[in-house]
């Protein structure tokens, strides 16, 4: 089956992709036929969605059940002051770069959390105190500071630890990711009874 020909506008818009040896016309066609689901329309999801749309990804889904807050605007570039109070997914799919590209079918979906409220429950205060203290010590040893947030949840897969680390905003992103990965591995090695570990960094 012969692939559809590019329109004149597509040839001009995606010319820099088409002339790349590792992309070419075939690669650009794959992008136009691709579907991508972006989880979160915040600080990372915003530029991700914009670059995917600009690259010509044919179908772009955006998942986020939060609303735009004025404190989001300095980094979540899909949203503007006019969007404050609106669902982030609505603001995202109506952004000019997503809305203006005829190839891109931007859709908002999953306005509610994917998990049922009963799927996970917070560990009652006082329970698992040993694990909580051990996690604090691991973070303190690795970063020199206690975690900004530490939550333990009972889930269907077992005990899950959620850690939020405060990092210097000037710190390279790669270093922040490496630090989060290191702490995750430390927790897994020291506490195999914890089924999963989620480590999040923020300035």
> Do 154 and 120 touch, CB atoms closer than 8 A?
yes
* 76-93 pLDDT tens trace: 998 999 999 998 888 887
Give the H or E element holding residue 130.
Answer: helix 129-143
Q: What is the mean pLDDT of residues 119-136?
A: 68
Least reliable range by pLDDT among 83-97, 118-132, 158-172, 181-195: 118-132
Q: What is the pTM of this model?
A: 0.54
Report all structural domains of the chain as residue ranges with CATH numbers, in order of start: 34-109 (3.50.50.80), 117-202 (3.30.70.1350)
* 97-125 pLDDT tens trace: 666 666 677 665 544 444 443 444 555 55
Mean pLDDT of the chain: 81
Q: Return phi, psi of residue 49, to 5°.
A: -60, -40
For residue 28, name the pLDDT band (cuts at 50, 70, 90).
Answer: very high
Q: How far apart are CA 119 and CA 39, in angstroms?
A: 20
The predicted structure's pLDDT at residue 120: 43
């Amino acid at each position: 089956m012969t692939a559809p020909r590019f329109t004149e506008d597509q040839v001009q818009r995606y010319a820099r992709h088409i002339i790349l040896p590792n992309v070419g016309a075939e690669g650009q066609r794959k992008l136009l036929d691709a579907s991508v689901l972006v989880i979160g329309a915040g600080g990372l999801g915003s530029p991700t969605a914009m670059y995917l749309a600009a690259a010509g990804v044919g179908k772009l889904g955006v998942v986020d059940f939060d609303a735009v807050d004025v404190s989001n605007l300095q980094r979540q570039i899909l949203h503007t002051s006019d969007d404050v109070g609106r669902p982030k997914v609505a603001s995202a799919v109506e952004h000019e770069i997503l809305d203006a590209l005829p190839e891109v079918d931007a859709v908002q979906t999953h306005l509610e959390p994917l998990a049922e409220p009963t799927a996970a429950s917070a560990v009652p205060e006082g329970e698992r105190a040993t694990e909580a203290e051990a996690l604090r010590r691991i973070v303190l040893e690795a970063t020199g500071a206690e975690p900004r947030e530490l939550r333990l949840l009972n889930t269907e897969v077992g005990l899950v630890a959620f850690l939020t680390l405060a990092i210097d905003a000037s710190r390279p992103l790669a270093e922040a990711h490496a630090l989060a990965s290191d702490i995750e591995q430390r927790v897994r090695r020291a506490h195999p009874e914890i089924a999963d570990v989620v480590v999040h960094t923020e300035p």
